[in-house]
């Protein structure tokens, strides 16, 4: 599995997204994903599946080879809440350490420096090996880098061909951070796309594979989710072909206003 290296941390380019996966099905998928070669599993406190994810990781027998990412809920970003919730995450996961801990969404009610101070403390005290952020705009990213006591490894944001994320990609590069694409196949929309299917046919690949390849070929990590064992391998088989410059450009042309799936201004009830 190819990795992207940021701030000395190695993040496998393809991870398994686990949002909506629950219980035994989730455990089975995580275990099977690791069996077929995944080395990066993406969960979050909000997904309510850390227990099932942890079980799958342990059942794989390859815990030490896998990067487990979890995210702190935006309502728990005050230092005391954050520290308590991270300890709870570890209990749920039943792992000794989280590999990469992210702020799930910024919360304007809690000063960023305080949250990042608490994240750094979690790292220093051995609860997580690395820290990063998710859903951070360019401006927030600049601020986070300025005030974080520990290096920030990544920014995980919505990214797929229907959404122009060039500015945030450039900001990640500027700060030496990994860009991680969530909803990388646009929640399945890529599947029926005419252009992606046509390019896929030329490479004997599916539209979803072309979509994922377009991202990893730009050095962007991806965390596609599937509930189907068969698709685990499909979403991983994207390292044996290359898109031409013309194909890369054509796919970038799919970006359109309103292409965003997850509302960037989404604000959970902060109280
Ligand atoms: N940080 C954040 O705020 C944030 C927000 C959203 C998501 N995420 C993370 O990113 C992960 C992925 O994003 P997502 O779940 O929103 O969407 P996604 O991975 O873009 O799409 C998932 C959908 O695509 C389908 N699919 C998967 N592989 C396919 C293939 N090869 N061909 C055709 N269809 C395929 C799945 O259906 P089947 O199950 O039927 O295969 C599912 O309906 C999440 O699970 C989560 O871990 C993070």
Distance CA 199, CA 44 (A): 34
Report the C-alpha gap between 38 and 41 in whole angstroms. Answer: 8
Give yes or no: 127 in active site: no
Which of 47, 127, 162, 182 is flagged as catalytic?
A: 47
CA 121 – ligand 1 centroid, Å:
32
Tens digits of residue pLDDT in 226-268: 999 999 999 999 999 999 999 999 999 999 999 999 976 655 5
Mind listing the pLDDT tens digit for each residue in 160-179? 999 999 999 999 999 999 99
> What percentage of the chain has pLDDT greater than the value 70?
97
State in Å, rounded, how far the first CA of the chain is from the last one: 41
Summarize pLDDT for 38-71 with one digit per residue, the tens.
999 999 999 999 999 999 999 999 999 999 999 9
d(CA 222, ligand 1 centre) in Å: 10
Site to substitute for ligand 1 among 14, 15, 16, 17, most atoms within 8 A of C-beta: 17
> Per-residue pLDDT tens for 114-134?
999 999 999 999 999 999 999
What pLDDT does 152 receive? 98
Indicate whether residue 189 lines ligand 1 (CB < 6 A).
no
Q: pTM of the entire structure? A: 0.97
Distance CA 166, CA 111 (A): 27
201 CA distance to ligand 1 middle (Å): 22
Rg (alpha carbons) of the chain, rounded to whole number:
18
CA distance readout (Å), 44 to 146, 152, 245, 262: 25, 18, 35, 16
Whether the CB of 227 sits within 6 Å of ligand 1: yes
């Amino acid at each position: 599995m190819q990795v992207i290296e940021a701030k000395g941390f190695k993040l496998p380019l393809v991870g398994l997204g686990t949002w909506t996966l629950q219980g035994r099905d989730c455990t089975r998928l995580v275990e099977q994903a690791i069996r077929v070669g995944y080395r990066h599993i993406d969960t979050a406190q909000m997904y309510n599946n850390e227990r099932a994810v942890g079980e799958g990781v342990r059942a794989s027998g390859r815990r030490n080879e896998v990067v487990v990412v979890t995210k702190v809920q935006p309502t728990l970003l005050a230092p005391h809440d954050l520290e308590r919730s991270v300890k709870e995450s570890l209990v749920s996961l039943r792992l000794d350490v989280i590999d990469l801990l992210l702020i799930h969404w910024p919360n304007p009610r809690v000063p960023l420096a305080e949250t990042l101070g608490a994240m750094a403390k979690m790292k220093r005290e051995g609860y997580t090996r690395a820290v990063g952020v998710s859903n951070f705009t360019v401006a927030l990213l600049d601020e986070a880098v300025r005030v974080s006591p520990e290096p920030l490894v990544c920014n995980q944001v919505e990214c797929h061909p229907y959404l122009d994320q060039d500015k945030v990609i450039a900001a990640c590069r500027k700060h030496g951070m990994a860009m991680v694409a969530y909803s990388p196949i646009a929640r399945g929309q890529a599947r029926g796309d005419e252009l992606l299917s046509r390019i896929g046919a030329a490479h004997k690949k599916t539209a979803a594979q072309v979509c994922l390849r377009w991202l990893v070929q730009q050095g962007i990590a991806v965390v596609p989710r599937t509930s189907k064992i068969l698709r685990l391998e499909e979403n991983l088989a994207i390292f044996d072909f290359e898109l031409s410059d013309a194909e890369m450009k054509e796919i970038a042309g799919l970006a359109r206003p309103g292409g965003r799936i997850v509302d960037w201004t989404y604000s959970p009830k902060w109280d």
